[in-house]
Amino acid sequence: MDDSSKTSLIKEGLPSAILLVILVIIGIVLDKMGQDIHWPGYLSMVLFYVVIFVVGTYAAHIGRQKQKDLNTDSTDTMMLAGRSVPLMMAVFTMSATWVGGGYINGTAEYAYNPDYGLVWAQAPWGYAISLILGGLFFAKKMRRHEFKTMLDPFERRYGKGVAGVLYLPALMGETFWTAAILTALGSTFGTVLGLDFTPSIILSAAVAIAYTALGGLWAVALTDMIQMVLLLVGLFLVLPFALDHVGGWDWAWQTYEKKMGPIASFLPSKAALGNYFYNWWDYAFLLMMGGIPWHVYFQRVLSSKDENTAQRLSIIAGLVCILAAIPASMIGIIGNVVDWTTVGLSQAPEAAQVLPNVVRYLTNPWVATIGLGAIAAAVMSSVDSSILSASSMAGWNVFRPLYSHFKKKEVEPKSLAKVIQGCIWIVGIAATLIALRKGSVYELWFLCSDFVYCILFPQLVLALYDKKANTIGSICGFIVAAILRFGGGESSLGIPDFFEYHKVFGMPELYDAKANKGLFPFRTLAMVSSLITIMVVSRLTQKISPPRSLEKTDV
């Protein structure tokens, strides 16, 4: 390493030292204000955040060096790491992105909850299958065309205006996903560290936003490697200590099966689901296919050095996601069968808090600290990926076309990279503010997942595979998907079930009167209807709206 590189690294190390001091001072202030902070755990988290920040700032140095070596522009470096991410690093960052705080907390929560059980813990295998399907049918094609974002095929096939509109559900999905993950972290820190919800979220978000803005995808990928290793080690380390409290796995599983009955299975059945059987499949398809059209996924695909690497990393990451779900599921089962009064609690914890409570009460302090680090790692690995994803689309698919339209010239790569950095702060702060509201975050996140499945998935499939798909077909498909989706109602927005699908299709059993909830799989109906609409309308309007090619053209 030459003297200039050493000097650069020393300068980049100063913010990390300042961060260390600031976090310690904040802890002291909060402690003086009356918060019962668990100092060993808090200091370990401070150390973890500083290490991650150091790695993130070092990644910024790597990015600049790679930019010189590969002769790539600033935008490519910020968004796609110069399309030079090695296979194993790509697998780690892809896996870490999906295996977030909501993923492991939610898996444990549903396995623990007596009203849901393993049969409703769909996210682990659903998202894993989405990664495998993405690798088989989407990754190679997207990488072959050298797109920069997921919205590029929309822009080329349907036009810049449609791509701008389709950015809205993509942005909402990424932002609310980030907020939901931060909410999970705030609740966890409150359980294990005695740290209030608000400072937990603000501190974690600030660190993640800062190193992402500094280093772009290199910072995200490099930190994700550390975070994913810590996540797997931490969760698997918790298991033997937790199992000691319930007499081993065999006893825990037998007790769980006896207690939960048919819902103690990942496989759906009428006995387990009753009238919710078709509703279960609606959510299953939402996860398996709706898990594909996210730029947070395609950013890793497009950063690969070639299309074969893009395919392999997606499939391998799907298998890693299943592996990460094993300890989370087991922790939920352990929490369900353990006698919580033996560890000092007067009653069993709420379902959403089972994972942090198992980490805190069923292990020793050192293992609990490592387990908490695993949860924090899972959260940060998803937060940094999501805010970079949304910001990349904002810069490339929204700001860049508007700039070229009004200025009549293309924006300089360095300027565009700075715009993306600014968007990282805007999106990150917006997600943090939403997370601080606590109340409706999860409902809004699931609603945005519906948008992605119902609206973006059919648009993406036909943009890539239907040469006759055109702008008018895309717009009509968007309208049909939105009407049919909202026609099924949405409690989080106070929208009633206008269409009452159970009556329209003569299936009164697909309505839960007690929960005032329709059980018809209208999300999948909306997605399929949108797909068919785009195909049919596009073929009827070929003369007035000629289809565009996916091939890159000079603008």
Using left for φ > 0, alpha for ψ between -120 and 50, and beta otherwise, residue 364 falls in: beta
Tokens of 55: 């790695």
Q: What is the pLDDT of residue 554?
A: 45
The residues pairing with 517 across neighbouring beta strands, listed in sequence order, are 512
Tokens of 124: 């682990």
Per-residue pLDDT tens over the stretch 447-465: 777 889 999 999 999 999 9
Q: What is the pLDDT of residue 510?
A: 94
Mean pLDDT for all residues in the chain: 87
Tokens of 470: 């055109």
Sign of CA dihedral 184, 189, 191, 197: negative
Write the DSSP symbol of residue 84: -
pTM of the model: 0.89
Q: What is the pLDDT of residue 226?
A: 84
Q: What distance in Å separates the CA atoms of residue 136 and residue 130, rounded to the nearest whole number?
A: 10
Sign of CA dihedral 378, 446, 170, 210: negative
Q: What is the pLDDT of residue 5?
A: 52
Per-residue pLDDT tens over the stretch 233-251: 889 999 999 999 999 999 9
Q: What is the pLDDT of residue 119?
A: 96
Q: What is the pLDDT of residue 496?
A: 84
Question: Are 99 and 231 contacting, i.e. CB atoms less than 8 angstroms apart?
Answer: yes
The list of the chain residues with pLDDT below 70 reads 1-14, 63-64, 67, 69-72, 101, 184-185, 187-188, 190-194, 438-446, 492-493, 553-555
Q: What distance in Å separates the CA atoms of residue 426 and residue 70, rounded to the nearest whole number?
A: 30
